[in-house]
Amino acid sequence: MLKKLLFNAIFHFHAQPFSVRCNIVFLLLVTAAKLLYDFLTAHLKKLMSDEKCSAEKVTEMEDVITQMDNYTQQELADLFVKYNVKSPSTGNDLTPPTSFNLMFQTSIGPGGNMPGYLRPETAQGMFLNFKRLLEFNQGKLPFGAAQIGNSFRNEISPRSGLIRVREFTMAEIEHFVDPNEKVHPKFSNVADLEITLFSSKAQTSGQSAQIMRLGDAVEQGVINNSVLGYFIGRIYLYLIKVGLSKDKVRFRQHMDNEMAHYACDCWDAESKTSYGWIETVGCADRSCYDLSCHSRATKVPLVAEKPLKEPISFYLNVVQFEPNKGAIGMAYKKDAKLALEYLAVCDECYISDQEKLLSEKGEFSFETEGKTFTLTKDMVSVRRFQKSLHVQEIVPNVIEPSFGIGRIMYSIFEHSFHIRQGDEQRTYFSFPATVAPYKCSILPLSHNQEFVPFVHQLSEAMTRNGVSHKVDDSSGSIGRRYARSDEIGVAFGITVDFDTVNKTPHTATLRDRDSMRQIRAEVAELPEIVRDLANGTLMWAEVERKYPIFEGQETSRKE
Amino acid sequence: MLKKLLFNAIFHFHAQPFSVRCNIVFLLLVTAAKLLYDFLTAHLKKLMSDEKCSAEKVTEMEDVITQMDNYTQQELADLFVKYNVKSPSTGNDLTPPTSFNLMFQTSIGPGGNMPGYLRPETAQGMFLNFKRLLEFNQGKLPFGAAQIGNSFRNEISPRSGLIRVREFTMAEIEHFVDPNEKVHPKFSNVADLEITLFSSKAQTSGQSAQIMRLGDAVEQGVINNSVLGYFIGRIYLYLIKVGLSKDKVRFRQHMDNEMAHYACDCWDAESKTSYGWIETVGCADRSCYDLSCHSRATKVPLVAEKPLKEPISFYLNVVQFEPNKGAIGMAYKKDAKLALEYLAVCDECYISDQEKLLSEKGEFSFETEGKTFTLTKDMVSVRRFQKSLHVQEIVPNVIEPSFGIGRIMYSIFEHSFHIRQGDEQRTYFSFPATVAPYKCSILPLSHNQEFVPFVHQLSEAMTRNGVSHKVDDSSGSIGRRYARSDEIGVAFGITVDFDTVNKTPHTATLRDRDSMRQIRAEVAELPEIVRDLANGTLMWAEVERKYPIFEGQETSRKE
């Protein structure tokens, strides 16, 4: 993500009357823009490397590169002409950059004249339902909601397997907090985690990422607050639990120029893959931005009431727009009423932002009910005063961890892929048992019919225990079948052999995929052992301590 | 579903080169047509009820009603004019029926000139991946694949909550079987189920649905084969397990005129709701239709090789098209090659269907590579002969259970909604613990600080055991809080009271939502008891046998 390229109206597939998450940062548009920036940058660097290029020219081009993110579409087009950028494949002139819709449009209903858009993110629903969610939590802050679903973006060039696709699964959490109490009660549970952080400061000063204790990062202000810190810790624990490598996960802070203007702080969990570091989870403190926008658009206050032990009166600093009704009426005639209604419901965050614009540029603009208004200093001012209130109303801030499920899965595949030492033919996936699609394979040593009842018994007990498993009774040596099972990442394997049949109590071997070590336990016990291993309530090391090791048989069983 | 209204080309959102499930029955178009049929039928019945209507006219109209499903669009338009059907609200003439696209169209890519369609069902992927799935099952039949995902249909009038929506979640299973071995090895596991079946015969003869033993239904040929029967049994068990009422679930067989021509047999699991009987799961034996269509379209044979114990030669009855190359060449010039290629890869099912058309109508048509061909008797004949082969190739048949998740959820809500005897204010959802969003609530008797550590201990242990729960420490009597917990269907409730604090070992009460009965057990044991109850590995009756009943306290605790 590079830059704030804002898009004004947001939609929802079901064309609900108002499902606005206004001014959403359009990552994709940004990515497309980034391609242009990168392309121009590469071109300039090439020019600069030419010995004939004057020092003056080099400085000029260096300036352009530094400013890159801030150019408008037209400025960018002019630069392409100025520096004579041509198509790398044909040498022809380039057409000027154009913008295009990154959401998929469709038509709803039989007439086909009701436009609809596929949602570009899943979050909206939770803001729309804020009032209900708050009520469900008995009116108290903090509380969270989570949602998983498909999102659709008209990617300009889908590629890289699951990394850049047009339809993808997102999982988002919206955690609503009182902005005055941004302290997470469970932060201490994650404070001791040592996590690789790549702060905005490190990035701008050319330093590398560094491993920090999460508690220190929050204390030192590297991470804005402990609620954000808590979620960073939990995201980290989640990524490791599903199989990402510790040394291939880092959290990168957004730099000022890539962070949305309303965000307090934003960190991306990145995973190192053969495509470089890719963003897998975003974790942003979006302040009160989303709820405020929805409030303004729907004219319904989306606030929580501060739970006071006893109802007391207290003084509140109030910030309001103070419209000059005459001047607005003069400028907008019958539409003036709409502008006044709009100004009446704005919140402090928004008013302060516009106040800044008023003092810097002398005006600000907004849109309401499909009409655009531009108000100047003589039409509106900002008034601050104190007011006595009985209950404090709060626009909650929101911390938003947003997971790209496909990218996480892709990272699991890369980080879990291994080759057995000394045998390049034998590859395996070291999926943690909790996420392995199959927890266990069941392998009869041969086609001997005596093994069949034990295979059935094990398979049925596993089904009963909710353990996904695969019986592989195909021909092939046991070693070859284990290799096949490892190749698709089955976490454990049970072999039914002649001792299973002939000795009582009936026992079979249980093999751990990663270490290839085996133990021997009773057939009746095995399904529950595997269940507990798969749930993560039992560790392989404990199993080895409790049951007799079954030595060196895999090799001898190979042919 | 009413009738076969076929749609010729099918698409997939990702615009894969070929993701055809040809001639899919378009349920929606059918539903829209059904509205017209119903509307016309109602009109005719009204006319017939008029005393002035002649017996002759009545007979004519009765005929029209009987034929209703078979009218074409134009015939229907003519009937609307003939019987002078007017708009019920305005009395104006009606416009003729028009057809419209029931899939959502969008544009892919920056240029916007690559059309794409949102998928109307999830099944396609499993047919596309048939070869891989077969390989994954070591080339053996039978095997199954399952998929869950969103589908999109341009519903003409979305309504009735989750029942008729434009975007919905479908879960589909494709179970591939050898058509010569349509016997399910586990059928005996479900054969004794007593299920309400509403056979096609019962429907046409005006009889009502009847409860039958599943085994008898298959033996008597009411259900076509035991594979279909097995899935009907499993669907039934699933629906009951997630909370549908036995007496509000039935399986209705498709009548000949609503069943797709290629299907052997098709049953809908229907659930009785306030909207009437609604289809929640479809279970069809689609014979070899889908794989054959894909084969024809892609010219890639999608077949399994029959696993023979030893490779032997045997004679196979072969059915082939025998094209008259001269005649086809004459008619189609340079496109003749395409037609010949197409004819060469057709399978027996398809050839037999076309042979029937040839003999009945003298011709049949098909489309390939975007061109339409109509072949007459002089251009093509069908040849049947015997061939000696070493391995038998089989086009598997497919049994397709297809679940409408939203409709199942809706049915759970209706079937689980109850009112406590004698108290209309107290409603509750009797969600089975396995599907209840919250398994357990934890309620401290009051705000007394002594309860807090026990509440924490219980909550942490539940999280550790993966039990979703809700702590309700709000004010309100324990009775009121139980009522609130019941209202949202929380399966169990634990109350921490003074005995918990004061007596050792520390115990708390556990309450069953449906019976409102309570037992008393140690705080340390409770999380695991609830976990097992929620997993369905422990029944409440067993809990009552094992732990002391805690009597009549809920009432006394109320206020």
pLDDT for residue A556:
44
The answer to whether residue B111 scores a pLDDT higher than 80 is: no
The answer to whether residue A333 scores a pLDDT higher than 50 is: yes
Verify whether the Cβ–Cβ distance B110 to A150 is below 8 Å. Answer: no
Verify whether the Cβ–Cβ distance B100 to A106 is below 8 Å. Answer: no
Of B243, B285, B381, which Cα lies nearest the Cα of B324? B381
Q: Tell me the pLDDT tens digit for each residue of B212-251.
A: 999 999 999 999 999 999 999 999 999 999 999 999 999 9
Higher-confidence residue of B412 and A552: namely: B412
Lowest-pLDDT choice from A384-388, A524-528, B5-9? B5-9
**How far, in Å, CA of B289 to CA of B387, rounded?**
24
Mean pLDDT, all residues of chain B: 85
Q: Tell me the pLDDT tens digit for each residue of A416-473.
A: 999 998 888 899 999 999 999 999 999 999 989 999 999 999 999 999 888 999 999 8
End-to-end CA distance of chain B: 54
Q: Tell me the pLDDT tens digit for each residue of A349-383.
A: 888 888 988 988 999 999 888 889 999 989 999 98
pLDDT for residue A531:
93
Structure confidence at residue B256 as a pLDDT band (50, 70, 90): confident
Question: Count of residues for chain B?
Answer: 559
CB B490 within 8 A of CB B472: no
Question: Is the backbone peptide bond immediately before A505 cis, with ω within 30 degrees of 0?
Answer: yes
pLDDT for residue A136:
86
CB B197 within 8 A of CB B253: yes
**How far, in Å, CA of B319 to CA of B382, rounded?**
7
Partner residue opposite A14 with nearest CB, options B13, B118, B166? B166
The helix (run of H) or strand (run of E) holding residue B245 is none
Judged on CB neighbours under 10 Å (0-12, 13-18, 19+), B113 is exposed
CB B286 within 8 A of CB B127: no
Q: Tell me the pLDDT tens digit for each residue of A136-168.
A: 888 888 999 999 988 998 887 787 888 888 889
A5: number of CA atoms within 13 Å, CB side? 21
**How far, in Å, CA of B75 to CA of B388, rounded?**
51
Higher-confidence residue of A101 and A331: namely: A331
Of A456, A407, A376, which Cα lies nearest the Cα of A165? A407
The answer to whether residue B26 scores a pLDDT higher than 50 is: no
- Whether this model's ipTM surpasses 0.85 comes out as no
pLDDT for residue A526:
97
Question: What are the structure tokens assigned to A504, written together?
Answer: 């009582």
Q: Tell me the pLDDT tens digit for each residue of B49-82.
A: 888 888 888 888 888 887 776 777 788 888 888 8
A95 touches B: beta carbon within 8 Å: no
Structure confidence at residue B304 as a pLDDT band (50, 70, 90): confident
Higher-confidence residue of A341 and A294: namely: A341
CB B485 within 8 A of CB B528: no
- The most distant pair of C-alpha atoms in chain B lies apart, rounded to whole Å, by 99
Question: What are the structure tokens assigned to A433, written together?
Answer: 């048992």
The helix (run of H) or strand (run of E) holding residue B239 is helix B226-241
Residue range A384-407: average pLDDT? 85
pLDDT for residue A527:
96
B100 touches A: beta carbon within 8 Å: yes
Q: Tell me the pLDDT tens digit for each residue of A88-98.
A: 778 788 777 77
Question: What are the structure tokens assigned to B195, written together?
Answer: 């299920």
Verify whether the Cβ–Cβ distance A156 to B110 is below 8 Å. Answer: yes
CB A2 within 8 A of CB A28: no
pLDDT for residue A70:
72
3-state helix, strand, coil in chain B (%, to 5): 35, 25, 35
B505 touches A: beta carbon within 8 Å: no
Question: What are the structure tokens assigned to A253, written together?
Answer: 């802070």
Structure confidence at residue B307 as a pLDDT band (50, 70, 90): low
Q: How far, CA to CA in Å, does B537 sit from each of A349, A466, B433, B529?
A: 53, 11, 11, 10
Of A437, A452, A440, A422, which Cα lies nearest the Cα of A531? A440
Mean pLDDT, all residues of chain A: 85
The chain B residue lying nearest A100, using CA atoms, is B110
Question: Is the backbone peptide bond immediately before B88 cis, with ω within 30 degrees of 0?
Answer: no
Query: Using a CB-CB distance cutoff of 8 angstroms, which residues of chain A are in contact with residue B535?
Result: 466
Residue range A30-47: average pLDDT? 74
Beta strand extents in B424-506 (DSSP E only):
427-429, 440-444, 469-471, 492-496
pLDDT for residue B555:
46
Look at residue B533 and give its three-state secondary structure. Answer: helix
CB A414 within 8 A of CB A243: no
Residue type, A414: E
A14 touches B: beta carbon within 8 Å: yes
B535 touches A: beta carbon within 8 Å: yes
Contacts 24+ apart (CB under 8 A), A469-476: A469/A438, A469/A439, A469/A440, A469/A441, A469/A442, A469/A530, A470/A438, A470/A440, A470/A441, A470/A442, A471/A441, A471/A442, A471/A443, A472/A441, A472/A442, A472/A443, A473/A443, A473/A444, A473/A447, A474/B138, A475/A447
Higher-confidence residue of B266 and A318: namely: B266
Verify whether the Cβ–Cβ distance B166 to A108 is below 8 Å. Answer: yes
The answer to whether residue B400 scores a pLDDT higher than 90 is: yes
